[in-house]
Amino acid sequence: MKRRIKSLLFLTIAILIITINASADLGIEDRVQSYLIGDFDSGRVLESYNIDKPLQAASVSKLMTYLVVKDAVKEGKLNLNDRVTVTLEIEAVGGSSLNLLEGEVLTVDELLAGLMVVSGNDAAYALAVKTAGSEKAFTDLMNAKAQELELKSSKFYNSSGLQEGANQNTMSTEDIFKLSRHIIEKYPEVLEYSKIKILNMPKRNFTGESTIPLVGEIPGVDGLKTGFTEEAGYCLVSTIDARKSPQSGEFRLITIVMGTADISERSELSKFLINYGLENYGMRTIIDDKAPYSEVTINSAVNPRVPLYPTESYRILTPKAKRYVYKSEINDGLKAPISVGEKVGTMTLSSEGEDIITVDLIVKHDVEQANLFTRIIRAIENTFRTIATMIRQ
C-alpha cells in the first residue's frame, strides 16, 4: 500500500505572463482560413485555429512533391544528377514558372531548386514525370505517402497545386504541419533553398526571385514554402530556429497561415505568429533528475531525513506562464538499509488538474541503518510525540 503525501509538494514554476493553451483566441481568426504554431521537436500543436478542415493547398502541395522525389533519390530510384529533357507538355504548364522550354536539359537537382525557390509548376511536373513516368502515377505516390504519414485530410491530384477544373489538392493545416516537420527532420537540407534569394541559371539565361518571405527579415527564419491560388488565398509555411533569434530559445517553431487576403497580410500574420510563439513559449526543465523533489523520514536510518530524486528529467516547450504541481506517493513502511537507485515511490507532474507524466522516485545514496540504541531512542521519542499529539487533540 502507498500513502499520498500531498502537503508541501505543491512546488510551482511561476513565470509571470499569461496562461496559454492550444485553443487560445489570438485575435486573427477573421483574417485567415486557418493558422497554427507548432513545436518542431515534439510535434505538439501550441496554438491553432481550424486546423482539421481540408483546405486548398495550392503550391504548399510542392512540399509533398519534394518529399516523394527525395525519397526516390534516397531509395536509389533516382539520382540528383539525372538529366531531364523538357517536353512541350512541360513547357505548357502555367502559373509560377522556371520558364522551362522544350528541348532544354536540366538535372533533377536543378529542378528541385526551381521547385522550392521559385515554386515552379513546370519544375514540379518535370520532376513528377521523371520520377514516376507520368504525373498521374506520381500523384498516386503522393497520396500513398500521405497515407503512410497518416495525413488524413490530404488529397492530391497533381504535383504543383494548380487547380484542375473541379479537382484541387487539399490538405488540413495539421497535415501541413506534420508534413513540414517530417521533411525538415528527414531532409534538413531543404532549408538550404531558403538561403537562395535569387536563383540564377546563367546557361539558360534564367533569373528568378525566391518566393519564400521573412528569411533575413526575422532572425532565425530559414524556410519554408508559399502557396497561392485565387481559391486558396495566400498561404505560408514558415519555420524559425529560435536559437538564432533575439529571444534565443532552444527550440524550432513551425508556423502556418492559410487563406489570407493578400501577400502583405500573409507576411504580417506570419510575423505575428512567429513573434507570439517566441514571446510566450520557452523551453523549461520541469523535472530535473539532479534535484530532490521530495523527502521522507526513515527513523531506522543513520540520517533519517532522506531526499528522493526522480529517475528522469522532463524538458518541454511550454507557455512561460504555465504553472506545474508535483505530487508524490511514497511507499509505506520504508526501512533502512536502502540501496542506491532503489525505487521508493513515484512523483506525478500535473497542470490545470491534468496529469502529465509520472516518474519513479529513488534514493541516490545508500541509506544505512542506524545502530540498535539509536533506533530504540527514536522509537521512544516517536511514541511520546504521538501521545502528546493525541492529548492536544
Q: What is the pLDDT of residue 366?
A: 84
Q: What is the pLDDT of residue 393?
A: 67
Q: What is the DSSP string of 312-355?
A: S-EEEEEETT---EEEEEEETT--S-B-TT-EEEEEEEEETTEE
Q: What is the pLDDT of residue 23?
A: 47
Summarize the chain as % helix, strand, coil (round to 5). Answer: 30, 30, 40
Domains and CATH numbers, the chain: 2-15+288-392 (2.60.410.10), 29-283 (3.40.710.10)
Q: Which residues pair with 301 in a beta bridge?
A: 369
* Radius of gyration of the chain from its Cα atoms, rounded to whole angstroms: 29
pLDDT tens digit sequence for 182-218: 999 999 999 999 999 999 999 999 999 999 999 999 9
Interacting residues of 256 by C-beta distance below 8 A, sequence separation 6+: 34, 35, 36, 38, 173, 176, 177, 180, 235, 236, 237, 238
Angle (CA) 175 181 187, round 5°: 125
One-letter amino acid of 246: P
Angle (CA) 148 241 187, round 5°: 35
Whole-angstrom distance, CA of residue 72 vs CA of residue 27: 42
Looking from the CA of 200 toward its CB, the CA atoms found within 13 Å total 4
Cα–chain center distance at 183:
12
Phi then psi for 274, rounded to 5 degrees? -60, -50
Q: Which residues pair with 285 in a beta bridge?
A: 315
For the chain, list residues with pLDDT below 70.
1-24, 370, 372-386, 388, 393
Helix (H) or strand (E) holding 186: helix 173-186
Interacting residues of 85 by C-beta distance below 8 A, sequence separation 6+: 103, 104, 105
One-letter amino acid of 190: V
* Burial category of 30 from C-beta neighbours within 10 Å (exposed 0-12, middle 13-18, buried 19 and up): exposed
Helices (H), 75-172: 88-91, 108-117, 121-132, 135-148
Whole-angstrom distance, CA of residue 248 vs CA of residue 258: 27
Strand order from edge to edge, sheet including 233-241: 45-49, 34-39, 252-260, 233-241, 221-229
Q: What is the pLDDT of residue 19?
A: 34
